[in-house]
Structure 1
């Protein structure tokens, strides 16, 4: 565990249990240099405790880098709740988690993430003020999708020479709240959509509403397209899957898409432009951070537009130095965090 903390430069790790509700939670705080750690709360089944801790640590690191490059007054943190096989009261479980957050006295602010909802955040808010993405604050998913959409346009410009998405084939892996909202924006821009999801109902909806073409989950990565948009869980890009890719660029909303930086180098060697995930998907964090600081929607929308500029800057450095954009982004974030 300490080796993991050392490798991710994690500041602290907090483990909490509540036998009455079945709560088993991990809160990872990566860096508080820029402000209180802010990051989502995942509610997922994990094969073992070590997997949950590892997920929290890596996500917290990504949140620090995301906040640093987005220019937000936040550190990086993440919580994961190991979803039990049976829960007597989901509300009571999230209220118990709220008490865990409250004990950290503002060092960590929680928010919605995979497996959690606005209703869950409302339960947490019964026990702590250090929470956002509540009914009052609003769901960040549409803003996360907006940021990814603008990032895809920047990626298309850098790789294909135009930010006009009409007729572009975009393969979307995962049609959750962000993935589906992104699909809607891409459809409105005239893109041709190839989609996959473990929920056939979401695929059917995309077919009916957006004219999307369904692709089997295990075939999407090897399907020819212009841009691949991973919008599910992380670690989709490894040495084996990258060898199968038939796209010009990868630009999606999923966190921790790369299993390691060597995979980023492999993408670079193959001539596939990679939009660093924590840069292109920072719209959700921008929204929850600025809403937590009581900023109005026009200010938030203006800040979202900076995603495109930051990606263009990173792509420029990467091209000039003939290195992966992922390595450039890490170095830029670390200058902010550790200068």
Structure 2
């Protein structure tokens, strides 16, 4: 299949396949759009089952970044990169250094950062040979993880959804199922616990589950059953495509609001959620906190106070999307897409 015929190809500006046989690097950079500014999006390292799976992921993720940055009113386009490798491998740093040279060659057309399998200290390694890296550990004080920006967006989104669905200003007593306890999911659990929510959690790594259980006294369930819990809110914070033909009939939550990318296996599931009366907060809107907080270095002077203010402002953005969706009897995913596309179209030079 030609890449131009790939079902996830959406008139991407560039798709680059990166290779360095000396270290075994295989990676893909997808630049979806630079209409609003240089493309920005994280670097994901994952042991994909196949190169086609990696390509599908990077195409979907990069398009999502275009929409995310547009809805968040950032002067940035959308891009993403994936490194096809297990992030636990011993030569991870060598892979990162080799890959960073490919990003450097783009001369600022694309900026990358942390994502699944790539943390702030890894971003420091990427920055050794590349000027176009954000969310680096060295940019923050010791102990601060910029993934907390993403988690704050998730917490803000859950507050907005609770207001929209139940007219609640507090989260005390609401039951939330969190799927995935990486940096963002674990910090979301911390914020929700502090706000009085009751938590059910799952992760494929037993040690991180036990850590969250010990800290907050939450309930743990098997990872393959977290979506089916009898809760008010389901928060997917792991890999994508969690809302699919298999899981949808088992979802009992009235709200889906989490930090994973590409939560809908296919766009049609946005309408399916609407028909089932489940309020869905579009993933690329609620998880925009990470790029909102970390990307300021690209186009402005970073300010923690200003970054937090922008992220908590997602509360009103999300309420507006959910209200528009209800008023128009449309899936919230389609409403968010329309907003993003309109902003991108408005920025294109007139013929």
Give the TM-score range, shorter chain: over 0.9
Q: CA deviation at 1:89?
A: 2.8
Matches within 5 A, 1:157-306: 157-292=163-298, 293-306=300-313
Match among 118, 142, 147 for residue 141 of structure 1:
147
Match among 307, 314, 323 for residue 314 of structure 2:
307
Q: CA deviation at 1:88?
A: 5.9
Q: CA deviation at 1:7?
A: 4.0
Q: CA deviation at 1:294?
A: 2.4
- Residue equivalent to 2:32: 30
Secondary structure of 1:194's match? Answer: strand
Matches within 5 A, 1:21-60: 21-60=23-62
Q: Is the 8 A contact 2:244 2:265 kept in 1?
A: yes
- Residue equivalent to 1:323: 330
Q: Is the 8 A contact 1:21 1:87 kept in 2?
A: no
Between the aligned partners of 1:197 and 1:283, the Cα distance in structure 2 is 22
Unaligned runs of 5+ in 2: 347-351
Q: Is the 8 A contact 1:43 1:114 kept in 2?
A: yes
Between the aligned partners of 1:227 and 1:38, the Cα distance in structure 2 is 30
Q: CA deviation at 1:256?
A: 0.3
Q: CA deviation at 1:32?
A: 0.2
Between the aligned partners of 2:137 and 2:85, the Cα distance in structure 1 is 23
Give a deviation string over 1:143-182, Cα, whole Å, max 9, x none.
1101110110000111122131000000000000000000
Give a deviation string over 1:71-108, Cα, whole Å, max 9, x none.
00110000000006995632222111111001111110
Q: CA deviation at 1:15?
A: 0.6
Q: Is the 8 A contact 2:282 2:332 kept in 1?
A: yes
Please identify runs of 4+ aligned residues in structure 1 that moved more than 4 A: 84-88
Matches within 5 A, 1:80-159: 80-83=82-85, 89-138=91-140, 139-159=145-165
Worse-superposed segment, 186-195 or 44-53: 44-53
Q: CA deviation at 1:6?
A: 7.3
- Residue equivalent to 2:17: 15
- Matched residues, number: 339
- Residue equivalent to 1:337: 344
